[in-house]
Structure 1
């Protein structure tokens, strides 16, 4: 993907700026769903934030998005109690077997400009979790959540700015045979901690709206 501009970091190195990862947040997904439903009484086309493509939402897919939106606050409370599986069930999604690994070095588990960033700006620790989610339509989505703790709040903000840019690299998944593209992505920063979530379909044909909404939910359910 060609850059849309360039920026210089605090060390004087110039990086290309690419289109932001992801397609928007829950609010954008909600707007897309509303357009889809109003256009044809249940099936239609929703345009995701900044995307030139479109996504046809069936009534079943719209139900998946609505379930996540309407139950997210309750699920967040459950997740904070250390019950992530129950939290996903509250969103009408079934979590499969989870794989998790922690490390004290981030550069070895990243690539591209993100890896270069970690080589000169080491993280404090990295925790990765990857698991499948299945919706009531039988679609299965692989979810990768990476929680990076930096050594300063400014480093955390710089990491998020860099990794949010599509084409600058990423954190490596735990299950390498799942090709994460960064198209269905969300992130948040809180103090020294950056949380990143990505989703990719592994069976069925979940729409980009569903994938993006699950990515944002994964970030929201991850404790700070």
Structure 2
């Protein structure tokens, strides 16, 4: 199975919270129109699973976010998710994801959690909450004793710091939500979502090291 770095390399991964699964196709289409073709649909609401199911056959790479249990891993796999993202590191969630052939990106916040991730064979992790952990300073600190590890920062990523993050050699993707704000989705302003997505893509053009 592809690693997270292979699946998401150079990507902006929007973190999407949906209250209505029915808008998922329009949302994914708006993101794609703006140049973003990787989407993390979270399980933070009851609509999450149906949303994943409704767009799993699209041309975009659809992942499941806020996956906390083995049962949820199995549900999102059945729904057609291509990758799994968790806010923290759970051995059973990681193992079941790997067994089902899913790319898995667990969250870590400490060197100890990172070592546990490495023991499972993973080389890519989500740093969460990145802003509270020191952002790029934390990534630089971890990159010393853990060379070759890839990070996707999540939490506090914005247009103000996104380019700096993605320009770091250890950062293979960034996770953010500024282009998929919940109020924009609620009022169906997909043109604005497409515009913000295009701005984000333009901002990050050439930022990868």
Q: Do both proteins adopt the same fold according to a TM-score greater than 0.5, normalized to the shorter chain?
A: no
What's the TM-score once normalised by structure 2's chain length?
A: 0.30
Higher alpha-carbon Rg: 1
- Specify which structure has the higher proportion of strand: 1
- Specify which structure has the higher proportion of helix: 2
Bigger RCO (CA 8 Å, 6+ sep): 2
